[in-house]
Amino acid sequence: MVTTSLPADRLRSTLLGGAIGDALGHPLENLNLAQIRAAHGTEGLTDISPLLITDDTQMTLFSFEGLMLADVDNEMSSVYNAYRRWLATQEQGQPSPGATGLAAQEWLYVRRGPGQACLTGLRQTDHAQVVNPDAKGCGTVMRAAPFGLFDHSPDDAFLLAAKCARFTHGHPTAAVSAGVLARLVSLLTRGHDLNDAVRECLRLLTYDVPSAGETRLAMREAVKAARQSTPSPEAVEMLGGGWVAEEALSIAVYCALVSDTAEEALLLAANHSGDSDSTAAICGNLLGAAGRKLPETWAATVEGRRTIDRLVAEATGSLN
Ligand SMILES: [Mg+2]
């Protein structure tokens, strides 16, 4: 079995941070900055209830379940099977009779903007097949945090996330950016601080990973922006819209680096013209992995909280 030695609270905060960011960004995904300010004031959205998650968190939970159920050396097929169960949640109205685990949970059968590449890629029944060769949407990154949460080395976490990105997105940048998020989560949950973890990933991208140019550039831009700019939506938008993998990673890293509190980082990552739910979800994963204190009310009330608690209990063997 693939195991995790991380404490339950760190697993939980990584998943919860992502879910909170996803839910904060959800109502903003299709609004530009002017529309966000017209709807929510100059500060943008600062709170919302209920906090409803989207496909980003749904797929992240299935990544986690796929890894948790895997045997060592068959992680890829176990994650693929988990993503096929996610696909069924998007194509069937309700759980099949006899379904178990996440596939048995009716609340996951709601469709909240699933990505086209994720849907079409997973409709292929052979996971060795190349799919969507030009796709580099952020759908690979937003689901990749769990790859850093099990007992794989940071390098193996990178590789697994990058390989599993290919189930849906064929562009190398989609794979590399997903690998970087997994590696960052792996390093953060093992005690590195964010600056250190980002530096370590940049070193890897410079010397050891082919086809890493776009991701490396986007990460460098995030670090530069965090040094030079005052946090603002305009500074976020200089990094792009986050619809593609490397920009989503870059925005999430920038917001986590530049903010003093988790609340500030999550709101910065959500309030911009781009792919708000994904950028804020990825940022939340980083904050939770780093052990930053998540706002309590959001953590207690975000949709899926009970499911996250149960998955973490199963993964750590503390389920009664
Ligand atoms: Mg989404």
> Domains in the chain, ordered, with CATH?
8-125+133-315 (1.10.4080.10)
Q: How far is the CA of 225 from the centre of ligand 1 (A)?
A: 25
Q: Which amino acid is at 34?
A: A
Residue 24 predicted with pLDDT over 70 = yes
Of residues 57 and 128, more confidence is placed in: 57
Question: What's the confidence (pLDDT) of residue 226?
Answer: 97
Q: How far is the CA of 1 from the centre of ligand 1 (A)?
A: 30
Q: How far is the CA of 319 from the centre of ligand 1 (A)?
A: 30
Q: How far is the CA of 185 from the centre of ligand 1 (A)?
A: 20
Spell 36-71 as b/e; 16+ CB within 10 A means b: bbeebeeebbeebeebbbbbbbbbbbbbbbbbbbbe
Residue 244 DSSP symbol: B
Binding residues for Mg(2+): 54-56, 275, 277-278
Other C-beta atoms lying within 10 Å of the C-beta of residue 149: 26
Question: What's the confidence (pLDDT) of residue 130?
Answer: 86
Average pLDDT (178-187) is 98
Question: What's the confidence (pLDDT) of residue 57?
Answer: 98
Average pLDDT (309-319) is 92
8 Å CB contact between 20 and 266: yes
**pLDDT tens, residue by residue, 73-107:** 999 999 999 999 999 999 998 999 999 999 999 99
For the ranges 21-25, 44-48, 71-75, 300-304, the lowest mean pLDDT is seen at 71-75
Q: How far is the CA of 175 from the centre of ligand 1 (A)?
A: 18
**pLDDT tens, residue by residue, 118-175:** 999 999 888 788 899 999 999 999 999 999 999 999 999 999 999 999 999 999 999 9
Q: How far is the CA of 123 from the centre of ligand 1 (A)?
A: 19
Crossing angle of helices 8-25 and 262-270, in 10° steps, is 40
Residue 320 predicted with pLDDT over 50 = no
8 Å CB contact between 110 and 94: no
Q: How far is the CA of 231 from the centre of ligand 1 (A)?
A: 24
Percent of the chain scoring above 90 in pLDDT: 93
Question: What's the confidence (pLDDT) of residue 1?
Answer: 87
Q: Whole-prediction pTM value? A: 0.98
Q: How far is the CA of 196 from the centre of ligand 1 (A)?
A: 29
**pLDDT tens, residue by residue, 227-265:** 997 899 999 999 999 999 999 999 999 999 999 999 999
Q: How far is the CA of 112 from the centre of ligand 1 (A)?
A: 6
Question: What's the confidence (pLDDT) of residue 319?
Answer: 67
Kindly state the tokens that stand for 73: 């050396």
Q: How far is the CA of 281 from the centre of ligand 1 (A)?
A: 9
- Mean residue pLDDT across the chain: 96
